[in-house]
Amino acid sequence: MKLTDLDVLITAPPAPGWGGRYWILVKVTTADGITGWGECYAASVGPVAMEAVIRDVFERHFLNQSPENIEWLFRRTFSSGFTQRPDLTVMGAFSGLEIACWDILGKARDRPVWALLGGMMNPRIRAYSYLYPLAHHDLTGFWNDPDQAAESALDLVARGYTAVKFDPAGPYTIHGGHQPALSDISRSVAFCRTLRAAVGDRADLLFGTHGQFSTSGAIRLGQAIEPYLPLWFEEPIPPDNLLEFSEVARAVRIPIATGERLTTKSEFATLLRTGGAKILQPALGRSGGLWETRKIAALAEAFNAEMAPHLYAGPVEWAANVHLAAAIPNLLMAETIETPFHSALIRDSITIDNGYILPPTTPGLGIDVDEALARAHPFTGTGLHLQMQDTPCDYQNDNLFMGGAPPVPR
């Protein structure tokens, strides 16, 4: 069984685009005709450049190789160019290709991927979601309005969700980390207070920041929201100095969660060794794929830390998350994005039942990718998957966070 063919599909979800401006799907085929699907979560370069990276990694390291040799493929890619260190772009390309290999292996053995990763630990996976605008909400004003957020939270709770995530704390800016504006702290407290009053003890509050703050700024904000008992304080500082996470963890009585912008076990190990985070949020399309992230979960288990796979991408990465989550003992929950396009792209092949994900029992990833639908929605823009604003924090007027994909500056 040898890997022989690669196709890369760049598909754009319809507006408003929850999950990012585009998703990078890879379709890998063996000489005997078995097809595997993966997804690359890499946002540092545009999709044209990323496709070139994916093809280069495939041709150098995967072509004519066996999809069984996951460890060997990882070591070749991780060591390429005399590096042997984390590289977001290269490991993003590798991760999608590696996920596709697992899909192939499961299909070849007529077993779901979770059965190849250690078997079933979690037949029902606790799901959580961001608070997204409902149909009657204003797409601009929603992000700064705690009352609209509470309506969205109650909608999720009514559907069985027991955890909701929100990010009201200031701009998604290249000028990080920065001190939060006092208005951002006040708004964050108002969100926590309003949401806690709305959901009571029926749902955990998951407070996100997207790594916006300096260490001291994160501590100020974290201490302000402590009374509302969030389950986690997500990525409070930028990921470029992992040692500083422990400073926040020591000063704030909320568990620190992070990991969507990290890759490979080496970066996550630094957080675990220093006590910087007790909830790890790898994005499997970037973190090294299923096998590397299974290792990250094992490391976390030894440090009494929990796993909460991240998702701001398409349903193929979500499927990989689900199989990992099904197989590990230290799962906390897994992120979901419920949109008609997410569901249609895999033909509703993974089910959410009353706030819990049901892992597939069919071979491989257990998804039926609608390739024609993916090709019918090509990405034609110029922005990146996610986009930070150039302007800094505004200390006089309100800062506005536009979800995960604000308008591209002209």
| pLDDT above 80 for 226 | yes
Residue 71 tokens, joined: 């460890």
Provide the edge-to-edge strand list for the sheet that holds 23-30: 3-11, 23-30, 35-40
Q: What is the pLDDT of residue 404?
A: 52
Contact present, 179 and 214 (Cβ < 8 Å): yes
CB atoms within 10 A of CB 369: 22
How many alpha carbons lie under 13 Å from residue 398 in its C-beta half-sphere? Answer: 12
pLDDT digits (tens, 9 = 90+) for 34-56: 999 999 997 789 999 999 999 99
Q: Is 197 exposed, middle or buried (0-12, 13-18, 19+ CB in 10 A)?
A: exposed
Contact present, 52 and 92 (Cβ < 8 Å): no
Contact present, 168 and 146 (Cβ < 8 Å): yes
pLDDT digits (tens, 9 = 90+) for 310-356: 999 999 999 999 999 999 999 999 999 999 999 999 999 999 999 99
pLDDT digits (tens, 9 = 90+) for 139-158: 888 999 999 999 999 999 99
Contact present, 315 and 346 (Cβ < 8 Å): yes
| pLDDT above 50 for 408 | no
CA 127 – CA 355 distance, rounded (Å): 6
What residue type is 260 in one-letter code? E
If phi > 0 it is left, if psi is from -120 to 50 it is alpha, else beta; for residue 286 that is alpha
Q: What is the pLDDT of residue 116?
A: 98
Q: What is the pLDDT of residue 183?
A: 95
Contact present, 374 and 13 (Cβ < 8 Å): no
Tokens 């997204």 belong to residue: 132
Within 8 A by CB and 6+ apart from 154, the residues are 198, 199
Angle subtended by helix axes 289-302 and 70-78, to nearest 10: 90
Within 8 A by CB and 6+ apart from 53, the residues are 42, 45, 89, 90, 92, 93
| pLDDT above 90 for 401 | no
Q: What is the pLDDT of residue 176?
A: 81
CA 271 – CA 103 distance, rounded (Å): 30
Round the average pLDDT of the chain to a whole number and report it.
95
| pLDDT above 90 for 170 | no
At 300, is the pLDDT very low, low, confident or very high (cuts 50, 70, 90)?
very high
pLDDT digits (tens, 9 = 90+) for 66-121: 999 999 999 999 999 999 999 999 999 999 999 999 999 999 999 999 999 999 99
| pLDDT above 60 for 298 | yes
Judged by DSSP in three states, 97 sits in: helix
Tokens 């979560």 belong to residue: 41
How many alpha carbons lie under 13 Å from residue 24 in its C-beta half-sphere? Answer: 31
What sign for the dihedral angle of Cα 129, 131, 136, 138? negative
pLDDT digits (tens, 9 = 90+) for 232-273: 999 999 999 999 999 999 999 999 999 999 999 999 999 999
Domains and CATH numbers, the chain: 3-111 (3.30.390.10), 115-365 (3.20.20.120)
Of 50, 6, 70, 76, the closest CA to residue 289 belongs to: 70
* Residue 209 DSSP class: -
At 358, is the pLDDT very low, low, confident or very high (cuts 50, 70, 90)?
very high
Tokens 């029992």 belong to residue: 361
Of 147, 155, 104, the closest CA to residue 129 belongs to: 155
At 362, is the pLDDT very low, low, confident or very high (cuts 50, 70, 90)?
very high
* Structural element, H or E, at residue 40: strand 35-40
Q: What is the pLDDT of residue 410?
A: 31
What residue type is 100 in one-letter code? A
Of 217, 223, 202, 182, the closest CA to residue 398 belongs to: 182
- Per-residue pLDDT, averaged over 169-179, amounts to 89
CA 116 – CA 106 distance, rounded (Å): 7
Contact present, 306 and 331 (Cβ < 8 Å): yes
Extended beta strands in 321-392, E state: 334-335, 351-353, 356-358
